[in-house]
Structure 1
């Protein structure tokens, strides 16, 4: 080497050293400048991945998910090894060898920058991506890149490779609101990440580079190219075999959007639970992965939804068909894509599908569904029964032809009906028997020319023996305009087992269980009657069912309350007055008790005094109350007299599964020392002398009361630790009221419930003027349930729509399912209850004849003598006169 060459080489070395020194100084300066602003890497150890709020039923069925980011964190141990290899092949195959920064990758990015003049790729390692995703923005600026490099070096010093990889797997955004690969697996394939195959893992591994560009749903062709490139990389790196590679690159793209599948339809419950969770945890409820476990039972919730929807549809069907929901321009029928788009915008309500009429025949309709299918609606599938709606009290004549009401372009609702294979077999059997009968009849009238036992002409024998298949039918329907609500509680602690706040949450978010304050009508009477029993009255006390007029300034100028139909029974026992729902008796009873005494007593059931009217109309249920308030009151009749508070949230778990909230509801404890009965001194019994025997009415002999009792289930150790429920009324009053409310079902306005075939159900109907509100609140000791039907606008329901016709069928449908398989349970008979034989017309004890009645031992009525009421006997002092036809028990409908 010449001297000149040696000097040149030394110059280059010095320049290189100087450049390196300058670079080091520059890097150090940048480091010192940026270091104070860098976040603490230690915070990554305690990082809280934004995970949505999830709401579950008590049996862990998902009923709701709230939060902008769908995320399901998993550990590195839960992540399939082959999927990890796919990620590394796609993003950073040197992950386990570098120290957080890939010099090779950065040099490649620098060359692209020099060649193109703009940043093409960042040469980022997985560690750098973690730094960017957790701490930095995605803006392409040099200063951000330097921060990313520095943070990556720090992360590698503080965390292990597996910890870094776990953060990446759970944090990265992968499109369609999915953050992390477990959530993305559910979005794109509806499965856990460990349930996917190699081709699907490679497809998932291609998403981080550009979730919108390589999205297998939005851009399947480009996603396929990216997937196959990753598979080739895995082959080159020795992660997969040649056969695995060939099989995977030929696999079809199977990704499609999977919305979060809910296990149970309970949107009103989910919304209530969401609000309570936000009250507890604030906005963190949406991001910190809380799991709210409600008290709702999935079986009962599903039964409640179906019962309410069926009940409202049945009510709606009694009042006529209002016609198509809308009428489209007939030109739209030629544009199938636009037609489908329009149908997709119309929500499915109550399971009723929107469809467009495309052709009208005299005895059928041809309609198109939102999935492009065209189906036929025959005359018998809802068309033959159509009577046009005129008003709530009037319908038009039945249609004779479909074209009287429908034209092409009409938007209608259809109900899908699945006919099981067994039902199809029965239909085929009936049709075959009919054909054979027809053939036999023809044979009897004609000369025999062939085997009389052969298969009728046109019916292939092999076809007749073919295994029947299930089929679907579509029936014309309509979305009800009336609304309703149903709520069911556990009487022992107030746990809400089922709640439906309307026909369909998509139709209206207004929760009528908690928000619709409506007049309960006669279903409020049991609270007045129980106050009377607590204050000296008995079930045999006599009150006059006769007209009464009030002139009070706090009511109207003149108030003339009535019974339904304007009939009056005269002096009537309280038991009979309750199950026949006699308004005059209730008013006189309240008048005798006094408003303050009755209102104070009602407060013990949980009713707010401020919500109760301060006049005698409260005896007829004039105060506006919600179904939830009503069912809380009826729970006291179901549990033997204790006030419980309805609650929905049973438990809340954090993202790690640890309990952060546990409900402690007021719980009935019959064996505990008396609690909550200190409601002031025992009131003085009312002097009944002036109101007990104004007159005596005829009555017929009734069956003896059945007083079978079964012990209720004992409390568990957990329940015994809960705060004890206070008493709303004494055990004796609760027992007597229970027997009286059972008579509403046995003899009164709730007789339809006898179809359930149970002896442990009780309740009370309620109907308000109009009628505008229809109620049935009732219970078994297993469950207390209230059902309401009415219009949100408080318009009339129509003639003959009472508590027993509109609300009670819903209650029956639900309770039939809810009580299925449960044994009959009756309240235990408390000490101090006695059974006596009384004269049903006087309410006094009698030695023979009469009926049985139950009393508190300290409130047994006096014995009657002939001298007491000589005019009421026809054959002696102990022989009631039953000759008067007016004495026959009737089942009047209610005005209130």
Structure 2
């Protein structure tokens, strides 16, 4: 017996030595793949780039892996229990490996060469996800075991579970449970109930097989099994189990849902940062805070959307997308399948017309619902002939639609659904804070997801009369006044820089004769602008335009410059108008305020050139660098570069005052609906009607709107800046200026107001009844004129008391 025991002992010892040898051999073979302690404790998750508004609203996310890391304290207890019940009940008691499960897995690997199931603890899953591939080999499995054992020595159980919760893949590009909660339920983990937590806890085993969106029946079985496990393990009570197991499946694909739609803004930020950070941008966990105001961005989106639709409806209905009479009597699933092949956008629906009466149309929507369209939802649809004309007004529904037509519908609060069509025209809006150039709102086109071309920055179009204020400012700086008379009459220019003799005309072909400069600008008279530039000289004016941020090399070097023939982006135009808005200072537009790393380290902080009104000057720097000053900002006192003054404050104010008349009396009269005395602006329409503009401002904010076709098709007869671009400007500014105090551009005390003769622009005669008040720079005040009238017996003249006070004030000035 003792001999047998000795044999068994030696066999056991030999076996132990063999196991140790094999284990060492395996360890030696995989040791280079085992991470160091430093690597274990310095694990970095791949976190997407996230972009926010200035008020912390999400507007964009870029990265293949959707992930929102959380710490252990943020894991809901029911989720932790559900994960343990489904994946590793003994997690808090084993050393990183489950011996029985591991033995079974090893036997399977040795006998079959493949892993057939079981054996992986949560720790081992973490090791595999962070440090290894998913190949099912003997070597990878043992490497996983060694890493798991090392992790258990170096990290706490809570740290390991936190890594698991943040790393595991759960389908739909979601990595980690917080991301999965957002993708499947549009909520945070803290907002999910027990049934929902159990549902996503079932995903790690097979994200595609148990996906509640793709395979709801399998997902339900998996969820209920986990709930049963929770009950069996005493982690929930019977009542909680019953409520959860009876809960319906509520999961659906939420994707990345931004708080504010700003696709053009997000893409601008992404492109700019990619130049610096490359592809690491998409997984380094950076957070970007822009200068966008979420409320203004929403208002801008709505204004452009409404403005484009209104233009599109004015020009008629272009007909159905297609006609499918075969679908009219087809089963519901075939109708829906046919409709879903046609892409739509926003909250619109593709619809199949099932039947019509004289006053209604019955439709099947792509979501399977039925809808009845009223006559009021259809009667706008005159047939489109071309941009200048429409067909006869429809009298009954069959004049517009027939059964089988596939059309688009958009929701309406009053009518339910309205017949719609995808617009072909485009419009864009940019709004700046004129004090520092921060972009408050930006819309680059009708729909970013349909067309990503950003018309604010990438499109160069002719501004037309929207450019004239810059020419007029040059004239005022060179001695012209708002009362200067320019003859608006036919003229021929033989400019050496033009191909042939040029005969400019006003819109409509009308000539006004001798016209005051103020009138010429607010009535947008072309001849006056050309005569001004001809007198000022093209080259000196080009140099002057540098003050507004324009590059003379990019502008026409001929008289057509006066009519806005340059190709400029809306961003450039808005930047130029910011000079008028802020009192004559040049600022630079910017969009990115701050970039923060995953560790909350500030990687970039904007230092915008800012108009100095209440700052304390620090220094006068050398080498052409801007002066620096202390500014009181929302985040404390900051040292910022001071914006250079590029326009004489007197000239600036006179231009502002004239452009206020554009709204009071001129082409911007529609904006009077805002009831604001502080706003000023200018329309712009190119001669052939290919581009329509409105740029307007007060002392704080400047907003420009452009409208037109990308292929430069004319907008059509009767369409101008005042009819196409001014309405969305009004809609946006109604929100932007709401509940704000009037903000007038600063008026220098050196300016003089005197009465003038409206016909000649000269100083009014004493007692002249049609005299008007006009603003002048002191050096440009017209001389006093007097009538040769007899003096009354008491020595009194016929001057009014108002005129006496005016003359007395002027005498003191000079």
Q: Same fold (TM over 0.5)?
A: yes
Give 2:223's match in structure 1, choosing from 219, 223, 227.
227
User: How many Å separate the matches in 2 of 1:102 and 1:380?
Assistant: 70
Paired residue for 2:811?
none
User: How many Å separate the matches in 2 of 1:333 and 1:57?
Assistant: 49
Paired residue for 1:612?
555
Is 2:507–2:687's contact at 8 Å kept on the other side of the alignment? no
Is 1:71–1:180's contact at 8 Å kept on the other side of the alignment? yes
Deviation of 1:194 (Å): 2.5
Matched, 1:166 2:87: no
User: How many Å separate the matches in 1 of 2:633 and 2:247?
Assistant: 58
Q: Secondary structure at the match of 1:182?
A: helix
User: How many Å separate the matches in 2 of 1:530 and 1:35?
Assistant: 76
Is 1:846–1:878's contact at 8 Å kept on the other side of the alignment? no
Paired residue for 1:175?
171
Matched, 1:635 2:578: yes
Matched, 1:306 2:302: yes
Is 2:466–2:683's contact at 8 Å kept on the other side of the alignment? yes
Paired residue for 2:517?
574
Give 1:803's match in structure 2, choosing from 700, 718, 721.
721
Is 1:347–1:506's contact at 8 Å kept on the other side of the alignment? no
User: How many Å separate the matches in 1 of 2:749 and 2:355?
Assistant: 73
Unaligned runs of at least 5 residues, structure 1:
420-471, 681-712, 868-875, 880-896
Q: Secondary structure at the match of 1:414?
A: strand
Matched, 1:587 2:530: yes
Matched, 1:418 2:413: yes
Paired residue for 2:775?
854
Q: Deviations over 1:426-455 (max 9, x none)?
A: xxxxxxxxxxxxxxxxxxxxxxxxxxxxxx
RMSD, aligned α-carbons:
2.7
Q: Deviations over 1:370-395 (max 9, x none)?
A: 11112121223223x33211122222
Give 1:73's match in structure 2, choosing from 57, 60, 69.
69
Deviation of 1:627 (Å): 1.0
Paired residue for 2:502?
559
Deviation of 1:671 (Å): 5.1
Is 1:772–1:796's contact at 8 Å kept on the other side of the alignment? yes
The farther-off stretch of 754-763 and 839-848 is 839-848
Q: Deviations over 1:857-878 (max 9, x none)?
A: 22222334679xxxxxxxx999
Aligned length: 782
Deviation of 1:493 (Å): 0.9
CA distance 1:631–1:498, shift in 2 (3 Å): same
Q: Secondary structure at the match of 1:334?
A: coil
Q: Deviations over 1:807-858 (max 9, x none)?
A: 1112112111211111212122224211122222222223523211111122
Q: Secondary structure at the match of 2:776?
A: strand
Paired residue for 2:447?
504
Q: How does 1:178-217 map to 2 (within 5 A)?
A: 178-217=174-213
CA distance 1:199–1:576, shift in 2 (3 Å): closer
Q: Secondary structure at the match of 1:87?
A: helix
Q: Secondary structure at the match of 2:413?
A: strand
Is 1:735–1:829's contact at 8 Å kept on the other side of the alignment? yes
User: How many Å separate the matches in 2 of 1:853 and 1:198?
Assistant: 74
Q: TM-score of the superposition, structure 2-length normalised?
A: 0.91
Paired residue for 1:334?
330
The farther-off stretch of 508-517 and 565-574 is 565-574
Q: Secondary structure at the match of 1:642?
A: coil
Give 2:589's match in structure 1, choosing from 629, 642, 646.
646
User: How many Å separate the matches in 2 of 1:860 and 1:218?
Assistant: 79
Deviation of 1:486 (Å): 1.1
User: How many Å separate the matches in 2 of 1:788 and 1:719?
Assistant: 37
The farther-off stretch of 512-521 and 531-540 is 531-540
User: How many Å separate the matches in 2 of 1:866 and 1:348?
Assistant: 74
Give 1:601's match in structure 2, choosing from 529, 540, 544.
544
Give 2:738's match in structure 1, choosing from 803, 820, 825.
820
Matched, 1:155 2:124: no
The farther-off stretch of 138-147 and 566-575 is 566-575
Q: How does 1:12-27 map to 2 (within 5 A)?
A: 12-27=8-23
Is 1:332–1:338's contact at 8 Å kept on the other side of the alignment? no
User: How many Å separate the matches in 2 of 1:409 and 1:581?
Assistant: 50
Q: Deviations over 1:778-827 (max 9, x none)?
A: 11223101111111111111111111111111211211121111121212
Deviation of 1:663 (Å): 1.3
User: How many Å separate the matches in 2 of 1:674 and 1:225?
Assistant: 70
Paired residue for 1:625?
568
Q: How does 1:185-584 map to 2 (within 5 A)?
A: 185-328=181-324, 330-331=326-327, 334-349=330-345, 351-383=347-379, 385-419=380-414, 473-584=416-527
Paired residue for 1:425?
none
Paired residue for 1:839?
757
Q: Deviations over 1:185-237 (max 9, x none)?
A: 22222222222233333332222122122222322333333333333433443
CA distance 1:192–1:553, shift in 2 (3 Å): same
Unaligned runs of at least 5 residues, structure 2:
625-630, 789-796, 801-814
Q: Secondary structure at the match of 1:660?
A: strand
CA distance 1:474–1:679, shift in 2 (3 Å): farther
CA distance 1:655–1:329, shift in 2 (3 Å): farther
Q: Deviations over 1:236-276 (max 9, x none)?
A: 43333344444444443333322222221222122222222
Q: Deviations over 1:756-797 (max 9, x none)?
A: 111011111111122111111111223101111111111111
Q: Deviations over 1:102-152 (max 9, x none)?
A: 222211223555787742125112111111100101111001111111111
Q: Secondary structure at the match of 2:505?
A: coil
Q: TM-score of the superposition, structure 1-length normalised?
A: 0.83
CA distance 1:676–1:832, shift in 2 (3 Å): farther
User: How many Å separate the matches in 2 of 1:400 and 1:675?
Assistant: 74
